[in-house]
Amino acid sequence: MASIFTDILNGRSPGRFVWADDRVFAILTIEPRKPGHVLVIPRIEVDRWSDLDEELAMDIFRVGRLIGLAQRDEWNADRVGLMFEGYRVAHPDYRARSRRVCSSARLVNTTGRRRALGLM
């Protein structure tokens, strides 16, 4: 059975994308702990994060790191947390969120960082 993440990826459910490539995509969560709370998700359905092959796990981490750097720069955050999760959905996700943010709910708004993230 397809997860909600697969439904979002395929356009059957709404999602606010901040990253997409041929292996992973990233969306803003609908239950943010902070504005800009992002989920980095593999395109293929995998039941548990521990079932990811090493190359895909590193791709997810690489994208999460880039998004975390953008969050840090955009909101002048002193820390950005990254963690794998897979408790509520049978499709692992990697979460990136900053500890301190400004009032803007946008992930990035600087041209250079958006270009570096492939958003332009």
Residue 104 confidence (pLDDT): 42
> Quick one: which of 42, 33, 56, 35 has its CA closest to 6?
42
Residue 100 confidence (pLDDT): 56
Domains in the chain, ordered, with CATH?
Answer: 4-116 (3.30.428.10)
Residue 99 confidence (pLDDT): 65
Distance (Å, whole) CA 59 – CA 65: 10
Residue 110 confidence (pLDDT): 41
> Quick one: which of 2, 9, 20, 31 has its CA closest to 67?
20
Distance (Å, whole) CA 25 – CA 100: 24
Q: What is the pLDDT along the chain (120 residues), one digit of tens a residue?
A: 688 889 999 999 999 999 999 999 999 988 888 777 899 999 998 888 888 899 999 999 999 999 989 988 888 888 888 887 776 677 677 777 776 544 444 444 344 444 555 554
Alpha-carbon separation of residue 39 from 25, 28, 32, 84, 111 (angstroms)? 8, 6, 10, 9, 22
